[in-house]
């Protein structure tokens, strides 16, 4: 079964995903759990190394994208918190200048 056919989520193009082409579909956790690799034939034992390495590269790419999104989310959270602190300090200063209520 084709992995891309089972994953119908759209992929954002541009921004942090510039290393990908437009048709790339990100992996979902269940796809990683269900992934099976072809065995090598003709007396050799084990999995096809090319399949395994291609899959590992894909998982690593998706992990890098997740970590980049997490880092951006943390930066945005820090910006929002700093803005909130500035706003609260500004309002507190304005109340102090007005005097007691």
Euclidean distance between the first and the last CA atom of the chain, given in angstroms as a whole number: 71
- Predicted local confidence at residue 87, as pLDDT: 93
Task: Extract the tokens encoding 86.
Answer: 């500035």
- Predicted local confidence at residue 78, as pLDDT: 97
- Predicted local confidence at residue 22, as pLDDT: 65
- pTM of the predicted protein model: 0.54
- For the chain, the average pLDDT equals 77
- Predicted local confidence at residue 7, as pLDDT: 45
Q: Answer yes or no: are the C-beta atoms of 7 and 31 closer than 8 Å.
A: yes
- Predicted local confidence at residue 91, as pLDDT: 86
Q: Answer yes or no: are the C-beta atoms of 3 and 31 closer than 8 Å.
A: yes
Report which of residues 43 and 74 the model is more confident about: 74
Q: In the predicted model, what is the mean pLDDT of residues 47-72?
A: 89
Please list, in sequence order, all residues whose beta carbon lies within 8 angstroms of the beta carbon of residue 46, skipping any fewer than 6 positions away. Answer: 39, 40
């Amino acid at each position: 079964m084709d992995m891309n056919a089972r994953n119908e989520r759209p992929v954002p193009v541009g921004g942090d995903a510039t290393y990908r082409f437009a048709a790339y579909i990100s992996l979902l956790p269940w796809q990683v759990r269900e992934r099976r690799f072809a065995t090598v034939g003709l007396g050799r034992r084990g999995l096809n190394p090319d399949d395994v390495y291609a899959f590992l590269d894909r998982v690593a790419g998706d992990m890098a994208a997740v970590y980049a999104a997490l880092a951006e989310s943390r930066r945005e959270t820090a910006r929002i918190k700093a803005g909130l602190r500035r706003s609260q300090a500004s309002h507190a200063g304005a109340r102090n200048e007005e005097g007691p209520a």
